[in-house]
Amino acid sequence: MTEHENRRAVGQVKEVTSLANPLVKDIKALALKKFRDSQNAFMAEGLKLIIDALDLGWQIKTLVFAKAGRGNQAVEKVAARTVAAGGTVLEVSEKVLSAITRRDNPQMVVGVFSQKYRTLKDVRPKNGDVWVALDRVRDPGNLGTVLRTVDAVGAKGVILIGDTTDPFSLETVRATMGSVFAVPVAKATPDAFLSWRKSFPGLVVGTHLKGAVDYRSVDFSNRPVLLLMGNEQQGLPDDLANSCDKLLRIPQAGRADSLNLAVATGVMLFEIRRSALTLEDRP
């Protein structure tokens, strides 16, 4: 980014201190799914996360930063990138930023991005690829944690089946710690999923409390793997369970009936990806 571009971006910054400002009202409305969907937008907080999102090609609509960010080189660089991408830059008071993020001590920078979903047609797994399908996941913390874990193990993406919590809610985005930008997400009705599943070129494993197979006894290597996880309250319904090649169980001791969905997904993913992960993997 050149000096000239930086100055140009700073010149285009709109200063906003009123909660009644229509731009601020639109961003605040993103707390509701109805408005996230009608604006095809969502909010993410934090400078590093926004830089990562831009680097990964996500489209930024609006950058909001607190007055404290004025003169901060990194913030000004992101502002310049936002302007270059055709987005709007707002410098706001702490009060406005708190209202937007619904937090007392908000991050200095908030980005509004366009939502992005893959279609099932885009999901064409190769050997070694792992995808996770979540049946009607309800809890934003669970979905965010699964997206983060999928990212961490190097799995390829997540398919949301049926009526699920929103991957672009602020709560889910927060729980992903930025992985929402790194992990492709597709949505499907149960029927669309079941018909797509027929052409899945690898192993489809479901996890089930009545599963007869110990998850540690399966060879997951050298083929695409699709891991199917059940809803928090009801587990996998019969049609989804019957579509799996195997139903696996994670053995448990103690009094707990089951594991938390995100924990069970993590246990499964680290087993499926066991041979692919080494301590040397990370730069």
Closest distance of CB 248 from ligand SAM, Å: 6
Of 41, 150, 236, 241, which one interacts with ligand SAM (CB under 6 A)? 236
Closest distance of CB 228 from ligand SAM, Å: 7
CA distance 43 to 6: 24
Tracing tokens 């999901």 back to the chain, one arrives at 123
Using CB under 6 A, which of the segments 20-28, 105-113, 143-151, 231-239 binds ligand SAM?
231-239
Using CB under 6 A, which of the segments 50-58, 65-73, 170-178, 232-240 binds ligand SAM?
232-240
- 167/230 with CB nearer ligand SAM: 230
Of 250, 271, 276, 277, which one interacts with ligand SAM (CB under 6 A)? 250
- Centre a 10 Å sphere on the Cβ of residue 89 and count the other Cβ atoms it contains: 22
Tracing tokens 């699709």 back to the chain, one arrives at 226
CA distance 88 to 75: 14
8 A C-beta contact, residue 182 and residue 150: no
- 194/250 with CB nearer ligand SAM: 250
Using CB under 6 A, which of the segments 22-30, 114-122, 186-194, 203-211 binds ligand SAM?
203-211
- 97/132 with CB nearer ligand SAM: 132
Residue 263: beta bridge partners? none
- 91/139 with CB nearer ligand SAM: 139
Of 232, 244, 269, 273, which one interacts with ligand SAM (CB under 6 A)? 232
Q: Does 269 participate in binding ligand SAM (rule CB under 6 A)? A: no
Closest distance of CB 274 from ligand SAM, Å: 17
Specify the long-range contacts of residues 207-211, CB closer than 8 Å, at least 24 apart.
207/236, 207/247, 207/248, 207/249, 207/250, 207/264, 207/268, 208/235, 208/236, 208/241, 208/247, 208/248, 208/249, 209/235, 209/249, 209/257, 209/258, 210/247, 210/249, 211/246, 211/247, 211/248, 211/249
Which residues form the interface with ligand SAM (CB under 6 A)?
Answer: 207-209, 211, 229-230, 232-233, 235-236, 249-250, 252, 258-259, 261, 264
